[in-house]
Structure 1
């Protein structure tokens, strides 16, 4: 394992930890926003992008780490598919964020209707 591999492992690990911390913070943010029944579409798209990026960093870390520990055809296929799914999600998230930014739609919100007490009681029964 060369110096560049060690540097990449450290960078992937730090990126992964930061992404997990951001995901946790955004999860708490969205819990509050869903209770208030108003969610920013821009923040939702950012959450989707960050989720895909977190998966991508986990797969990147797995690929880099597994180079030193041997490999099989099954693991190689799983890594390739995982990377493709994570890259597709990251790209989709970036496209959504770019469209929202350049159409000046950063301030779009989804408003959820209030749940009436009667409907809630019927659902509980």
Structure 2
């Protein structure tokens, strides 16, 4: 294992830990907002991006560790590539949403979840009748 491997593994671990820390510290905000039924679109996009980014960093850590420690197999490589693709779709989607909100300056948009819940309940009630 070379110096670059140690540096990369350390950076990947730091990135994972800091992203998890940010998600953990914002959990009370999301819990409160979901309970009230209204959440900021910008914060929702940030949550989506950070969750996808964290997953992506775990995948890259596994890819690098498999190469360094020699436990890479063709099957594992396939799974990791698929995971990387899913994570990249998520991070790109999250970044695109954040960029759109930044470009338009619409930081004050909110999603109302209660109306969606009531509509779903009404549809279920109508289907049961």
For normalisation by structure 1, the TM-score amounts to 0.86
1:24 aligned partner = 24
Identify which range, 89-98 or 23-32, moves more after superposition: 23-32
- Structure 1: where are the runs of 5+ without partners? 120-125
2:94 aligned partner = 93
Higher helix share: 2
Please tell me the root mean square deviation across aligned C-alpha atoms, in Å.
2.0
Which digits, 9 at most, give the CA deviation of each residue in 1:74-96, with x for residues without a partner?
A: 00101111111111110110001
2:127 aligned partner = none
1:72 aligned partner = 73
Distance in 2 between residues matched to 1:37 and 1:25, nearest whole Å: 20
Distance in 2 between residues matched to 1:76 and 1:25, nearest whole Å: 33
Structure 1 residue 33 corresponds to structure 2 residue 37: no
1:103 aligned partner = 104
1:45 aligned partner = 45
Distance in 2 between residues matched to 1:71 and 1:113, nearest whole Å: 47
Identify which range, 50-59 or 61-70, moves more after superposition: 61-70
For normalisation by structure 2, the TM-score amounts to 0.83
The question of whether the paired residues in 1 share the 8 Å contact of 2:38 and 2:114 is answered with no
